[in-house]
Amino acid sequence: MTHEELADLIFPNIKHDIKYYEEKYPERKLKEGAIVTRYAPSPTGFVHIGALLASFTEYSFAKQSDGVFYLRIEDTDTKRTVENGISNIIRDLKDFDITFTEGAANENAETGSYGPYIQSKRKEIYHTFIKELIKEGKAYPCFLSEEEVNEIRERQEKHKDRIGIYGKYAKYRDLTPDEAAAKIKNGEEYIIRFKSPGSFYKKVKCTDLIRGELEFPENDLDIPIMKQDGLPTYHFAHLVDDHLMHTTHVIRGDEWLSSLPIHIQLFSYCGFKAPKYAHISPLLKNDNGVVRKLSKRKDSECAVSYYHEMGIPNEAVKLYLATIMNTNFEEWYLQNKDKQISDFTFSFKKVSKSGALFDLEKLGNISKTYFSRLTKEEVYEQTKTYLEEFDKEFLKVFTKNPEYTKAILNIEREQKKPRKDIGKYSDVKKLIWYMFDEEFKPNYEDKDINTNLLQDYLENYYNEEDDKNTWFNKIAEFGSKNGYTSVKEYKENPDKYKGHVGDICEMLRFVITSLTMTPDLYEIMRLLGKERIMKRLDNFKNK
């Protein structure tokens, strides 16, 4: 029996050959340098923050090069499939504006001419390729049972030998086609293994776009390419899919880095052009001084829903991911006040080689910068959406008089050095509650306030129509009549005065807001108006 006959015995119903598929999926017509890449999750329905970083990276590189970003579902590990897994992944990514040029669109539909994009629907294609390898003697049926493979591993561990099926452990690699066929006809179970041409004692060079040139021992493992259920392994499916879908760049987690020599070998042994590879380091967390990988199980910030619930804008999360992705992003962002992420050109060279610390405080700071660049309308609309879901009580207050609320939000906004105190939608209430009478139930702490002085000022000097200069000059004038001087003068001769203008402002601020720190007092007073301020002073006196 020939290898060809063995291949026919194993795959009797294959209609096409590799060439057929290569013609069916021709070279893409894209401009020079266009990156074709993919997001290739298992359909678990769950996008964690590391996966969001990976997909955002892939999306950005494809987009900035006018390339293609497609969604391929890797469901060959059937245990990991959950109901609506694909739709949920697509929905979560869409929230972050990560969308696909082609690929799976939900459980049952897809777009693009390089599909099917769901691996379990590509069985026939994989079998065609595997059949061809068997025909050429480059792959073979292996009859080792799972127990035998486990025993081999245990033995290898005991003898501190390399783990895997290679050399003398690859018991069935040299069966003749007749011997193999006899076992198959006898009903013995098998998987298909790749017959590695490599030697562990030779070195191969592989290039990673982030880490540069790496040297590995050549792969000599006869890795499984088809499992007993007839589905391919990741290694093999990735080879076939990225070949036929004309992926130019494989961007993936660095848990795959050690498989790189296998993948490079598979591509070259099959005579296909290998894509370029970029391996992204995992996100790390400083857990009370111990740096470890961010964990789906332990860390709530791992789920992307966390940010939604906390009220951190998706755009801010993306800005933070961009900061992690390229070491020069943050500086660029801080310097370019009116630019969007999409104006930035990402590069593989600026991806950090080691894992990045995922730091919620840092995210909070970036988010504050993001908020500081929004218009009052934007803050209003976005916060409203958040409150609609998470705080219906405050929503009523917030939306009662939109123009008033927007005016509050505009205090120290839309100016050269805008306020930077809002980092999440849930901060908004904490920062502006005192501007609403229905919310203003202050808990004044003990403080020495000269209420008569304030009453005098408000009745006889304060006019809500005054511009800021006039307002300030009046406080100064009123102050000087009452023993309060300028800050400078007060510092030089503290004994001669009761205090300085700042002290009057502080007292006013305290009575009006119950706080010692707020944004611009002039604006706060102007928006509240004299009547409401007087009322607050009265309440303060009677407390």
- Rounded to a whole number of angstroms, the minimum distance from the CB of residue 233 to ligand GLU is 11
Question: How far separated are the first and last CA of the chain, in Å rounded?
Answer: 101
Map the footprint of ligand GLU across residues 356-395, applying CB under 6 A: none
- Rounded to a whole number of angstroms, the minimum distance from the CB of residue 84 to ligand GLU is 18
DSSP label at 48? Answer: B
- Rounded to a whole number of angstroms, the minimum distance from the CB of residue 78 to ligand GLU is 13
Is residue 116 reached through a cis peptide bond, with omega within 30 degrees of 0 on the bond before it?
yes
40 binds ligand GLU (CB under 6 A): yes
Q: Are 524 and 435 in contact (CB under 8 A)?
A: yes
Rounded Cα–Cα distance for residues 514 and 442 (Å): 6
Among 74, 102, 110, 315, binds ligand GLU (CB under 6 A): 74
Closest to ligand GLU by CB, 253 or 418: 253
Q: How far is CA 352 from CA 111, 170, 278, 280, 357, in A?
A: 34, 39, 11, 9, 11
Map the footprint of ligand GLU across residues 84-103, applying CB under 6 A: none
Q: Which amino acid is at 370?
A: Y
Among 3, 7, 35, 42, binds ligand GLU (CB under 6 A): 42
- Rounded to a whole number of angstroms, the minimum distance from the CB of residue 77 to ligand GLU is 9
Q: Which amino acid is at 380?
A: Y
- Rounded to a whole number of angstroms, the minimum distance from the CB of residue 381 to ligand GLU is 36
- Rounded to a whole number of angstroms, the minimum distance from the CB of residue 237 to ligand GLU is 9
How many residues in the shown chain lie near ligand GLU by CB under 6 A? 9
Rounded Cα–Cα distance for residues 535 and 531 (Å): 6
Q: Which amino acid is at 183?
A: K
191-199, 245-253, 269-277, 517-525 -> range binding ligand GLU (CB under 6 A): 245-253
243 binds ligand GLU (CB under 6 A): no
23-31, 246-254, 311-319, 503-511 -> range binding ligand GLU (CB under 6 A): 246-254
Q: Which of 490, 470, 471, 492 is nearest to 480 (CA)?
A: 490
- Taken in order 232, 47, 57, 105, is the CA torsion positive or negative? positive
82-90, 158-166, 252-260, 513-521 -> range binding ligand GLU (CB under 6 A): 252-260
- Rounded to a whole number of angstroms, the minimum distance from the CB of residue 51 to ligand GLU is 8
Closest to ligand GLU by CB, 74 or 132: 74
Q: Which of 100, 79, 83, 84 is nearest to 37 (CA)?
A: 100
The DSSP line for 454-477 is HHHHHHHT--TT--HHHHHHHHHH
Q: How many CB atoms lie within 10 A of CB 224?
A: 20
Angle at the Cα of 243 (from 239 to 246), degrees rounded to 5? Answer: 140
Among 167, 253, 364, 519, binds ligand GLU (CB under 6 A): 253
- Rounded to a whole number of angstroms, the minimum distance from the CB of residue 297 to ligand GLU is 17
Q: Are 267 and 239 in contact (CB under 8 A)?
A: yes
**Tokens at residue 155, please?**
């033995």
247-255, 346-354, 391-399, 421-429 -> range binding ligand GLU (CB under 6 A): 247-255
Among 47, 71, 152, 250, binds ligand GLU (CB under 6 A): 250
- Rounded to a whole number of angstroms, the minimum distance from the CB of residue 21 to ligand GLU is 20
19-27, 163-171, 248-256, 476-484 -> range binding ligand GLU (CB under 6 A): 248-256
Rounded Cα–Cα distance for residues 374 and 520 (Å): 18
Closest to ligand GLU by CB, 3 or 249: 249
Residues 6+ apart with CB under 8 A from 187: none
- Rounded to a whole number of angstroms, the minimum distance from the CB of residue 424 to ligand GLU is 30
Among 122, 127, 131, 238, binds ligand GLU (CB under 6 A): 238
252 binds ligand GLU (CB under 6 A): yes
37-45, 304-312, 439-447, 511-519 -> range binding ligand GLU (CB under 6 A): 37-45
Q: Are 364 and 320 in contact (CB under 8 A)?
A: no
**Tokens at residue 281, please?**
């380091």
Angle at the Cα of 199 (from 247 to 156), degrees rounded to 5? Answer: 105
Q: Which of 170, 182, 153 is nearest to 219 (CA)?
A: 170
**Tokens at residue 21, please?**
């598929």
- Rounded to a whole number of angstroms, the minimum distance from the CB of residue 104 to ligand GLU is 13
18-26, 34-42, 99-107, 365-373 -> range binding ligand GLU (CB under 6 A): 34-42
Among 36, 41, 90, 226, binds ligand GLU (CB under 6 A): 41
Q: Are 282 and 304 in contact (CB under 8 A)?
A: no
Contacts with ligand GLU by CB under 6 A lie at 40-42, 74, 238, 250, 252-253, 256
